[in-house]
Chain A
Amino acid sequence: NAGVTQTPKFRVLKTGQSMTLLCAQDMNHEYMYWYRQDPGMGLRLIHYSVGEGTTAKGEVPDGYNVSRLKKQNFLLGLESAAPSQTSVYFCASSRGFRGDTEAFFGQGTRLTVV
């Protein structure tokens, strides 16, 4: 079972460049999320989606955009990358809304902005 797959796994960008991170899940989950993890810190929610065609802001949304055109895919875009966006990005998905629903995580994308 693939679960949650993130593409790419590593990327180096120059300041001002743009890129899109792709998250795909094969579990038919309604909810999907993008997080960033900075050194020595836990995950912080960037944006999330509660279903196809919907998106919402999380804790740290500035500088990022997202789209959920298909239920299985959740895209994270950086329009003009900044060194402060150097981080490890995680995607996750969950079946439903309830707090006891487990979130399944991808393996992360390490992004460096130089």
Chain B
Amino acid sequence: AQTVTQSQPEMSVQEAETVTLSCTYDTSESDYYLFWYKQPPSRQMILVIRQEAYKQQNATENRFSVNFQKAAKSFSLKISDSQLGDAAMYFCAYRPYNTNAGKSTFGDGTTLTVKP
């Protein structure tokens, strides 16, 4: 069974600084997708960034980027120039390539606090 581990229950960062959230996963699949979701206090789950395992290039979306290490099964999220609006719980998720889009495996989340 696939598992996703987020080893940092809580993280904090100073506004305008950079923070990295960790995620590791366990799978025997070779083709899969990895995701980072943001869940602010409003509870809305927002897709932040997606990485296809067959792509060696790390995904980037504005201030958000990932460090994908396939051999190490590691998928960390870097937030640059942190803003107050980045404060939220962040979930790492894994989904095999040919799997129903809703059947992702989620980590337990990391709560990010942004200090002004």
Partner-B contacts on A (CB < 8 A):
31-33, 40-45, 48, 50, 58, 88, 90, 92, 94-103, 105, 107-108
Contacts and interface: CB of A to CB of B under 8 A. Distances in A.
Given A41-B106, A42-B106, A42-B107, 5 more contacts: A45-B103, A94-B102, A97-B101, A100-B50, A102-B47
19 contacts: A32-B102, A33-B102, A40-B9, A40-B109, A41-B109, A42-B91, A42-B109, A45-B103, A48-B100, A48-B102, A58-B103, A94-B101, A97-B101, A99-B95, A100-B50, A100-B52, A102-B101, A103-B101, A107-B42
Nearest to B6: A42
B9 A43 contact: no
Interface in B57-116: 91, 93, 95-109
Contacts of A31: 100-102
A42 B95 contact: no
Interface residues of B, number: 28
Contacts of A107: 42-44
The 5 closest A-B pairs by CB, nearest first: A42-B106, A33-B102, A105-B45, A94-B101, A108-B43
Interface string B1-34: 0001000010000000000000000000000110
Nearest to A94: B101
Contact of B32 (A48, A99, A101, A102): A99
